[in-house]
A and B are shown apart, each in its own frame.
Chain A
Amino acid sequence: MCADTAMQQTPPATAGQADILLEAHDLARYFDVSKPWLNRVIERSERLTLKAVDGVGFSIRRGETLSLVGESGCGKSTVARLVVGLYGLTRGRLVFDGEDISDLASRTGRQTASVRKRFQMIFQDPYASLNPLWRVGTIIGEPLRFFRPEMSAADRHRRVGELLEQVGMSAPDANRYPHEFSGGQRQRISIARALANEPEFMICDEPTSALDVSVQAQILNLMRDLQDEYGLTYLFISHDMAVVKHMSDRIAVMYLGRIAEIAPAEQLFANAHHPYSKMLLEAVPSLEGAGKERTTIQGEVPNPVHPPSGCAFHPRCPHANARCKAEVPRLITRSDGSEVACHGVEEGRLP
């Protein structure tokens, strides 16, 4: 389980591991956030580049759940959108089941259907992720109409009913409109749509963070059940450490566009190495130790348009030294199966 997790920032393509479903090599995505040309000329301001993701590499094995966790602005949602081709890559390479899909964003239509039908995405906001003017049946049937045009309307109707029942709703709900449902039910509809084409890989971008806790439990359980039933592979994005712990096999902690640490879930929660991972774990409000005093962590995530030099975490890190300010740390694989991007850990200054 953990011996073969040894991967570097850029996993070797020659490894030929048959069970690797997705490999991401050195992903980067920059956004131009400059003001319009005229404003720049008048105000003499510089072009501004937001490096939302800058050199992220990971791989996901078939049937496992890899979570990306981090605070706002760390680039976790951008990674999800890069993987499904909603954004084009500024740099890097994406390999899905042996096929290079780095240029997916620039291709649409049937030419990419063979790849696209194998993965789907679940979004955060259940109120924005369903077309308000379409009936639920039309929404869930959309991937079917596109990927399987040969399917008859009656078959499609039957399949939509099946899907609705699979996600804990009833077939007649297909005739209703999204606004007739609660947030949790809408998220179920979203999941049904994602499942329509029996994908292998699901990218879940904060699927429960807009939901109440009791509804969150329902949705998380549903996602686990579906994973067991269909052997789904999840790339799970969340800011909630407890949810991530519940769902993941491995966890990648992101900070300002880079991965700070990747480790098996149990390993990370038992013994996090990176000071930022430790800080995140420390900050989670605990239900067990109600009212306990905590060492609060100083500072906030800096503006990603002007990230700190060297290790982006150094201004908030109690262990930062001159090297941390100057040099960007690389992910180094450790013997316990984790990979950590920290000079302190590398030098043995930190445990």
Chain B
Amino acid sequence: MSSTPSSVENSGEQNAIAVTGHEPGAAGQEPVLSVRHLRVEFPTRHGTLVALDDVSFDIAPGEVLGVVGESGAGKSMTGNAVIRLLEPPGRIAEGEVHLSGRRIDDLPEERFVPLRGRHIGMIFQDPLTSLNPLFSVGDQLIETIRTHLPMNEREAREEALKLLREVGIPAPENRLDSYPHQFSGGMRQRVVIALALAARPEFIIADEPTTALDVSVQAQILALLKRLCADHGTAVMLVTHDMGVIAETADRVAVMYAGRLIEIGPVDEVVRNPQHPYTKGLMASIPGIEKRLERLYQIEGSMPRLAAIPAGCAFNPRCPHAQERCRVQRPDLMPAEGSLAACWLHDPVDPLPPRRGEAGEEMAHVR
């Protein structure tokens, strides 16, 4: 099922150059997390589904990379592949994952498990999945701290109190012995953040951390996450479907579509001046609070199922600019203004002429 080695090698090579060469922000510093040509496959009885195809990105210390996309785009899959929580029969078929310069995707399971918690903190959408309902919050924090750091009970308790204070739990002395169900949704997510930070990991993966929360609480949690990670120099991979969350929190954004990374760049560039036609359409389809439009821009059709990803650029059937080449040849990430976009419009050698007068263009500019 895997493609010819040569073709992947080639596209990979270009990609690697592109990502490390042109990507603003990531250059210079040694990245905490480095993902190269990641490919995840799901063997099914109807054939092998490619859930992630040639995904590469870096995250620098203290940086928040927002991974955004619609359901089925592969954003959560990317996170799950990095922390090896792919649902069977999913598996990493190709590619490498490096954490602080050390390759981790080929580690045997028993050596990978200790990385979670110690080097990789995890925050999920539902705080209750990360907290054990049978133990008090303090016990869970203390246990995590003592598992990963050389501390005795008393020191660990002090550390737990410090963490709870840091994540903004009022009167932490009184809450240390409370159980998860005694906290409100927002407070629970704060506890999860404390737990994720407990062992001072260099990398945190936050998968839809605020989706289950009300807007007012969401803002609090995002601000907290952002501040703490900046203070600790923790790299964050923030997976979400919400462009607003990304715009508020991320330093850089990676946009995914049908299991591929189609645009990556600094948040201001991607949000205000998107380069890939899909990102453009996506941004234009979000109702804004500042300006009211009579109609929202709509991208016709829907994301392809994994079993039916079109040849060439996966977005071509929905793209207003699509031409013959887009239906045949898959574009790699190419420099496009301040970011990188996988679109032939930005081919440095032979750029495809954009179609004029497309609604998407105009409406994207109106915003």
Q: Do chains A and B touch in the complex (CB under 8 A)?
A: yes
> Which residues on A are within 8 Å of B, measured CB to CB?
71-72, 182-185, 212-218, 220-221, 224, 239-243, 245-246, 265-266, 269, 279-288, 290-291, 294, 296-301
- Contact between chains at A290 and B218 (CB < 8 Å): no
- Contact between chains at B219 and A215 (CB < 8 Å): no
Least distance between A208 CB and chain B CB atoms (Å): 10
- Contact between chains at B289 and A281 (CB < 8 Å): yes
Q: How far is the CA of A72 from the CA of B244 in the complex (A)?
A: 19
Q: How far is the CA of A290 from the CA of B246 in the complex (A)?
A: 9
Q: Is B307 among interface residues, defined by CB-CB distance under 8 A? A: no
Q: Is B276 among interface residues, defined by CB-CB distance under 8 A? A: no
Q: How far is the CA of A266 from the CA of B245 in the complex (A)?
A: 24
- Contact between chains at A217 and B285 (CB < 8 Å): yes
Q: How far is the CA of A71 from the CA of B185 in the complex (A)?
A: 13
Chain B 272-331 residues near chain A, CB threshold 8 A: 272, 281-283, 285-290, 292-299, 302-303
| A-B interface, 4 closest residue pairs, ranked by CB to CB distance from nearest | A285-B244, A217-B285, A212-B70, A246-B287
Task: Tell me which of A71, A287, A296 contacts B244 (CB under 8 A).
Answer: A287
What 0/1 readout, one digit per residue, does chain B (261-272) give for beta carbons within 8 Å of chain A? 000000110011
Task: Tell me which of A214, A240, A290 contacts B247 (CB under 8 A).
Answer: A290
Least distance between A246 CB and chain B CB atoms (Å): 4
Least distance between B109 CB and chain A CB atoms (Å): 34
Q: How far is the CA of A65 from the CA of B293 in the complex (A)?
A: 16
Q: Say whether chain A's binding surface is mostly helix, strand, loop, or mixed.
A: helix
- Contact between chains at A286 and B247 (CB < 8 Å): yes
Q: Is B216 among interface residues, defined by CB-CB distance under 8 A? A: yes
Q: Is B184 among interface residues, defined by CB-CB distance under 8 A? A: yes
Q: Report which residue of A213, A280, A300 has the largest number of chain B beta carbons within 10 angstroms of its beta carbon.
A: A213
Contacts of A240 in B (CB 8 A): 287
Task: Tell me which of B216, B242, B244, B292 contacts A245 (CB under 8 A).
Answer: B292
- Contact between chains at A221 and B185 (CB < 8 Å): no
- Contact between chains at A224 and B295 (CB < 8 Å): yes
Task: Tell me which of A182, A280, A294 contacts B302 (CB under 8 A).
Answer: A182
Task: Tell me which of A71, A213, A239 contacts B241 (CB under 8 A).
Answer: A213
Chain B 87-129 residues near chain A, CB threshold 8 A: none
What 0/1 readout, one digit per residue, does chain B (227-271) give for beta carbons within 8 Å of chain A? 000000000000001111101100000000000000000011001
Task: Tell me which of B220, B281, B288 contacts A287 (CB under 8 A).
Answer: B288
- Other than the given A215-B302, A217-B286, 11 more pairs (CB < 8 A) read A71-B214, A212-B303, A239-B214, A245-B287, A245-B289, A285-B222, A285-B245, A286-B290, A296-B220, A300-B185, A301-B214
Contacts of B289 in A (CB 8 A): 241-242, 245, 269, 281, 284, 286
Q: Is B349 among interface residues, defined by CB-CB distance under 8 A? A: no
Q: How far is the CA of A297 from the CA of B168 in the complex (A)?
A: 13
- Contact between chains at A213 and B216 (CB < 8 Å): no
Q: How far is the CA of A220 from the CA of B294 in the complex (A)?
A: 11
Q: How far is the CA of A239 from the CA of B213 in the complex (A)?
A: 11
Q: Report which residue of B223, B267, B282, B288 has the largest number of chain A beta carbons within 10 angstroms of its beta carbon.
A: B288
Contacts of B223 in A (CB 8 A): 294, 296
- Contact between chains at B70 and A213 (CB < 8 Å): yes
Q: How far is the CA of A287 from the CA of B242 in the complex (A)?
A: 10
| Number of residues on chain B facing chain A (CB within 8 A) | 46
Closest to B296 in A: A217
Least distance between B250 CB and chain A CB atoms (Å): 9
Closest to A293 in B: B223
Q: How far is the CA of A283 from the CA of B221 in the complex (A)?
A: 11
Q: Is B49 among interface residues, defined by CB-CB distance under 8 A? A: no
Q: How far is the CA of A185 from the CA of B285 in the complex (A)?
A: 17
Closest to A182 in B: B302
- Contact between chains at A300 and B247 (CB < 8 Å): no
Task: Tell me which of A184, A214, A215, A300 contacts B216 (CB under 8 A).
Answer: A300
Least distance between B340 CB and chain A CB atoms (Å): 18
- Contact between chains at B268 and A284 (CB < 8 Å): no
Contacts of A300 in B (CB 8 A): 184-187, 214, 216-217
Contacts of A246 in B (CB 8 A): 287, 292-293, 296
Least distance between A268 CB and chain B CB atoms (Å): 11
Closest to B221 in A: A296
Q: How far is the CA of A285 from the CA of B223 in the complex (A)?
A: 11
- Contact between chains at A242 and B247 (CB < 8 Å): no
Least distance between A204 CB and chain B CB atoms (Å): 15
Contacts of A279 in B (CB 8 A): 216
Given contacts A286-B248, A300-B186, contact A213 B293 (CB under 8 A): no
- Contact between chains at B244 and A297 (CB < 8 Å): no
Q: How far is the CA of A265 from the CA of B292 in the complex (A)?
A: 10
Q: Is B80 among interface residues, defined by CB-CB distance under 8 A? A: no
Task: Tell me which of B245, B285, B288 contacts A216 (CB under 8 A).
Answer: B285
Q: Is B215 among interface residues, defined by CB-CB distance under 8 A? A: yes
Task: Tell me which of B215, B243, B298 contacts A218 (CB under 8 A).
Answer: B298
Closest to A291 in B: B267
Q: Is B14 among interface residues, defined by CB-CB distance under 8 A? A: no
Q: Report which residue of A184, A284, A297 has the largest number of chain B beta carbons within 10 angstroms of its beta carbon.
A: A284
Q: Is B48 among interface residues, defined by CB-CB distance under 8 A? A: no
Q: How far is the CA of A52 from the CA of B243 in the complex (A)?
A: 32
- Contact between chains at B242 and A285 (CB < 8 Å): yes
A-B contact pairs, 9 of them (CB 8 A): A212-B71, A213-B285, A214-B298, A217-B285, A283-B218, A287-B288, A288-B288, A290-B272, A301-B214
Q: How far is the CA of A279 from the CA of B217 in the complex (A)?
A: 11
- Contact between chains at A287 and B298 (CB < 8 Å): no
- Contact between chains at A294 and B247 (CB < 8 Å): no
- Contact between chains at B285 and A214 (CB < 8 Å): yes
- Contact between chains at B267 and A297 (CB < 8 Å): no
Closest to B184 in A: A300
Q: Report which residue of A221, A280, A300 has the largest number of chain B beta carbons within 10 angstroms of its beta carbon.
A: A300
- Contact between chains at A284 and B244 (CB < 8 Å): yes
Least distance between A119 CB and chain B CB atoms (Å): 25
Closest to B267 in A: A290
- Contact between chains at A286 and B268 (CB < 8 Å): no
Contacts of B285 in A (CB 8 A): 213-214, 216-217
Contacts of B218 in A (CB 8 A): 283, 285
